[in-house]
Amino acid sequence: MSENQNQPLTTASGIPYYYHEDSQSVGARGPLLLQDFILHEKMAHFNRERIPERVVHAKGSGAFGTFTVTHDITRYTRAKIFNQVGKQTRVFTRFSTVGGEKGSADTERDPRGFAVKFYTEEGNWDLVGNNTPIFFIKDPKKFSDFIHTQKRDPYTNCKSTTMMFDFWSLNPESLHQIMFLFSDRGTPYGYRHMHGFGSHTFSFINDKNERHWVKFHFKSLQGIRNFTLEESVKMKGEDPDFAQRDLLQSIDNKAFPQWALKIQLMTEEQAKSYRYNPFDLTKTWSQKEFPLIDVGVMELNENPRNYFADVEQAAFAPAHVVDGVSYSPDKMLQGRILSYPDAHRYRLGANYEQLPVNRCPYAINNYERDGAMRIDGNGGSSPNYFPNSFDNIKPDPAYQQAPWELDSNVAAHFDRNGEGENDHYSQPGIFYREVLSAEDKQHLVHNFVSAMKGIDGPRKEDIINRQLCHFFRADIGLGMAIAQGLGVNLEQAMPQKHTPQSA
């Protein structure tokens, strides 16, 4: 139902007009008049309807809701959002696929974005994660190369399994993530039935300025549900917008989806001696050693009134953390801190923070002024420079964080080869043997085999063999099953040093 019932039709400048069936012309059949600026206004606005889609995560769905604190974690963080059990904070959450364009199908095999904006009283906190606790790479320098393999081939303009497996086979650190991706969790049944993860290691700072390293987990209270490969392919044809429709309808029908927020914590001392680099995004922290701690519940209970206004114009940035939450040395997180606001300025413009979905509902005091589409009064007549003698706005030392001890040398490449640093196989092996059920394992093998049959071109054998080596190194049974599924003759395929026995 329109919000403007019984109102006159107007131009964009609010001028009512009387007739809207055809353009002003010289006589009934004559050419059009230049003075019909309404015709021009309509055509010109239409030509400007598209903004750049997100370079990744272009297809998505979002909803507003609330986050409610259920457990006291104030000894770990002074973030105001957590300062009282029962406290509620408004959120906006956007889910997405990664590689597809804005019109692509929701059931593609892909990680799913899981981005949450908490409108806290001390500014907006964006937790911009995925439905996986890990990622394909651990250094931001590889991100654009990796994403190119997930997009279209520059010659065929088609998606290319060859590019994908070429990259993965040349970057063994991606094995852990692709094990997850090619399990049925790579094709979740919409967005309500998947977990979310902050993925990176962040830090919590408490009121004594003590730091803990922290990982965030959102556990779906709807339970995990996935499509099999065949079901996901079928759904692509039946309803490419399955996940959008599912989320929207469940909220319209008041079946509000919920996720329990939990954390894992590690002290700075524990981090120094942990067998893996705790800031390596291709690794998880053992939940036996660092158990999940309950924090609260996120509920999505309000659909946006307009998709473009809120979902398309939403801008999430890992840089946006609030007092009591901070960064870590995770290289990927460090890279993302710069990348997102840059993307937003390109995609939405310099004043994107003022769009309603992005705007902090509490006080904003700074001296940034002007720029295209400034819509918030631009600071009025108050001073536009700092320091000044006229207002009383100043930085507050209470927000200063504990100092952070760092290595003093620029790291040389050989420093990156320490113990545990390049073990890309132990955790994928544990994932295969201990996390997946017998049925999950069968599906994983089936999904890998089906995809890898699509590898072609002059490097086909190299790519397949190189990828098989990674599977063997993670788990011999997994390597054998995929090799058999692909009909690979292992004797011929692998040089002696790569046979399963030596894996």
Of these, 79, 127, 128, 494, which contacts ligand HEM (CB under 6 A)? 128
Residue number, nearest CB to ligand HEM? 113
Residue 57 near ligand HEM by CB under 6 A: yes
Token digits of residue 285: 């922290």
Q: Where are the beta strands (DSSP E) in 34-74?
A: 60-69
Nearest-angstrom CA–CA distance, 307 and 313: 9
Angle between the N-to-C axes of helices 476-486 and 460-474, in degrees from 0 to 180, rounded to the nearest 10? 150
Binding ligand HEM (rule: CB under 6 A), the pick from 56, 63, 81, 263 is 56
Whether 130 sits among the annotated catalytic residues: the reply is yes
3-state helix, strand, coil split of the chain in percent (to 5) is 35, 15, 50
- Tell me the two tokens of residue 323: 């007092």
Q: Tell me the window of 135-143, 236-244, 260-268, 456-464 that interacts with ligand HEM (CB under 6 A).
A: 135-143
In 143-165, which positions are buried (b, 16+ CB within 10 angstroms) versus exposed (e)? beebbebbbeeeeeeebbbbbbb
Q: What string of DSSP letters covers 88-143?
A: EEEEEEEEE-SSS-TTS-TTSSS--EEEEEEEETTEEEEEEEESSSS-S-SSGGGH
Cα 272 to Cα 268, 279, 375, 413, 454: the distances in Å are: 7, 11, 48, 20, 43
- Among positions 71-110, residues that touch ligand HEM (CB under 6 A) are 94, 96
Of the candidate residues 59, 336, 441, 446, the single one contacting ligand HEM (CB under 6 A): 336
**Beta-bridge mates of residue 60:** 96
Q: What does the chain come to in residues? A: 503
Nearest 10 degrees: CA dihedral of 66, 69, 70, 73? 160
Separation between Cα atoms, residue 434 and residue 186, nearest integer Å: 18
**Binding window for ligand HEM (CB under 6 A); candidates: 236-244, 314-322, 418-426, 475-483:** 314-322
Contact string 6-35 vs ligand HEM (x = CB under 6 A): ------------------------------
50 versus 254: smaller Cβ distance to ligand HEM: 50
| Cβ-based nearer residue to ligand HEM, 55 or 170 | 55
Beta-bridged to residue 211, according to DSSP, are 205
Work out how close the CB of 223 gets to ligand HEM at its nearest, in angstroms, rounded to a whole number.
Answer: 22
Using the minimum distance from each CB to ligand HEM, give the nearer residue, 127 or 265.
127
Site for ligand HEM (CB under 6 A): which residue of 66, 74, 339, 426?
A: 339
Residue among 124, 130, 131, 171 flagged as catalytic: 130
Task: Kindly state the smallest distance separating residue 87's Cβ from ligand HEM, in Å.
Answer: 25
Residue 146 in the binding site for ligand HEM (CB under 6 A): no
String of contacts with ligand HEM for each residue 341-380, x by CB under 6 A: --xx--x---------------------------------
CA distance 57 to 147: 11
Out of 38, 54, 118, 303, point to the residue binding ligand HEM (CB under 6 A): 54
Q: Which of residues 175-234 bind ligand HEM (CB under 6 A)?
A: 199
- Minimum gap (Å) between residue 68 Cβ and ligand HEM: 22
Residue 340, annotated ligand binder? yes
Residues 179, 229, 235, 332: which binds ligand HEM (CB under 6 A)? 332
∠ Cα 227 228 230 (to 5°):
115
**Position among 99, 129, 278, 304 found at the interface with ligand HEM (CB under 6 A):** 129
Q: How many CA atoms lie within 13 A of 266 on its CB side?
A: 27
Task: Name the residue nearer to ligand HEM (CB basis): 279 or 471.
Answer: 279
* Burial of 307 from C-beta contacts in 10 A (0-12 / 13-18 / 19+): middle
Best CA proximity match to 183, nearest among 433, 447, 437: 447
Site string for ligand HEM, 268-307 (x = CB under 6 A): ----------------------------------------
- In this chain, which stretch among 27-35, 50-58, 290-298, 446-454 interacts with ligand HEM, using CB under 6 A? 50-58
**How far is 17 from 416, CA to CA, in rounded Å?**
69
Structure tokens at 318: 């890992």
Among 57, 176, 193, 446, the active-site one is: 57
148 is known as an active-site residue? no
Using the contact rule CB under 6 A, the part of the chain among 74-82, 266-274, 298-306, 332-340 near ligand HEM is 332-340
Q: Provide the CA 466 distance to its chain's centre, in angstroms.
A: 29
Alpha-carbon span 325 to 116, nearest angstrom: 15
What does the binding site for ligand HEM look like in residue numbers (CB under 6 A)?
A: 54-57, 60, 94, 96, 113, 115, 128-130, 135, 140, 143, 199, 314-316, 332, 335-336, 339-340, 343-344, 347
The annotated binding site for heme is made up of 340
Positions at the binding site: 340
Catalytic residues: 57, 130
